[in-house]
Amino acid sequence: MPTGVAIRGVRDQLFDAAERVLLRDGPSALTSRAVTTEAGCAKGVLHRHFADFDAFLAELVLDRIARFDGHAAALRGAAGTGAVTDNLTRTLTDLFGPVAVAIVSLVTSRDGLRARLRAARPTGVPVLSDAATALTSYLTAERELGRITADADVDTLAPTLIGAVHMLFADRLGTPPDSGAVRRVVAAVVAGAER
């Protein structure tokens, strides 16, 4: 792109380019040069909008996590409807789409990025800890409605569900599991708690 030509929506354009590189080539291929080449702009464009590449990646991760907020709200709104196992299966299958799995790989592979994210999220791995918070909120609501047992430890159930289901999706290059496989894991984890 010629110098001096304004780029509309440069932030979103760079984020979308980074996502494409991440999904296609993995976290190790995600460099400022790869992003700007994918976006079709000069390398300096990224550095005019972000302090450095880790700042860019931190904003990318936070932007993609914000997209999960709709899933979290829908799950919370589903409390008292349908089967608990089905609600959890649907949400976890949606959560662990290719972008979320790639973002988790990115966060765990870059020390500088994790350090940046600690300012906004002092504990846990972003995406996974956000999902665990959403599941805890949902399970708490279901416990209050009597659809899971009163003694159910939702603070343990939620991260257990996240970890177990993440293991099904963790192979970035493999075939994602079907909803039946996810449902079996969810059912096994909540078996003692669901009424």
148 strand-pairing partners: 194
* Tally of domains within the chain: 2
Q: What is the rounded CA–CA span in Å between residue 103 and residue 100?
A: 5
> Is residue 131 in a domain?
yes
| Confidence (pTM) | 0.85
Mean pLDDT calculated for residue range 58-76: 89
> Is residue 30 in a domain?
yes
Q: What is the rounded CA–CA span in Å between residue 102 and residue 22?
A: 7
> Is residue 195 in a domain?
no
For residue 29, give the CATH number of its domain: 1.10.10.60
Residue 8, pLDDT score: 56
Residue 20: domain span: 10-49
**Residue range 120-163, pLDDT digits in tens:** 777 788 888 889 999 999 999 999 999 999 999 999 999 999 99
CA distances from 45 to 10, 14, 55 (A): 8, 9, 14
Band of residue 172 on the pLDDT scale cut at 50, 70, 90: low
Whether residues 42 and 108 share a domain: the answer is: no
> Residue 29 has what DSSP assignment?
G
Whether residues 95 and 32 share a domain: the answer is: no
**Residue range 34-56, pLDDT digits in tens:** 999 999 999 899 989 999 999 99
Query: What share of the chain has pLDDT > 70, as a percent?
Result: 95
Band of residue 5 on the pLDDT scale cut at 50, 70, 90: very low
